Amino acid sequence: MAERPLSPHLSIWKWGPHMAVSILHRVTGDGMALVGLFTLLWWLGALASGPEYYAQFADWMGSPVGYIILIGLTWAFLNHASSGIRHFVLDTGAGYELDTNRNFSWVSMLLPVVLTAAIWAFILLR
């Protein structure tokens, strides 16, 4: 049997922020599809079922668990959107320089955290 070269293994790659952005993009997309869809369907069902069911939904979403879900969905949406914008810019052929790519990756991971905190501070402190 001929000796064939092995394909690159994960152990030889140097992990960087661009890999984390790619993974987070997939995770947040899946999270929004599962958790977001369940929350939307629950909200619509409660809305259609009457005031008592909607009050139960509002109580759940007003609890600490509900806030964690809603804040998580806000972060997931903003993270997915910012990495989508990053991918769109990369699709135009710009941003492939190493420093630019690394900095854009960090911005697309940190900006959603800042925006989520600002949005929820506005919601909770008004």
Question: What pLDDT shows up at residue 93?
Answer: 95
Tens digits of per-residue pLDDT, 94-119?
999 999 999 999 999 999 999 999 99
Is 1 inside any structural domain?
no
- 95 occurs within a structural domain: yes
Answer yes or no: is 102 within a domain: yes
pLDDT of residue 112: 98
Q: Give counts: helices (H), strands (E), the chain.
A: 5, 0
Residue 75 in domain: yes
What's the confidence (pLDDT) of residue 12? 73
Q: Is residue 46 part of a domain?
A: yes
Predicted pLDDT of residue 84: 96
Residue 114 has a pLDDT of: 98
- What's the whole-model pTM score? 0.88
SS3 8: coil
Low-confidence ranges of the chain (pLDDT < 70): 1-2, 5-11
Domain hosting residue 104, numbered range: 18-125
pLDDT at 15: 83
Round to whole Å and give the CA distance between 17 and 83: 12
Q: How many domains does the chain have?
A: 1
What CATH number did the domain enclosing 82 receive?
1.20.1300.10
pLDDT of residue 120: 98
Residue at 13 is within a domain: no
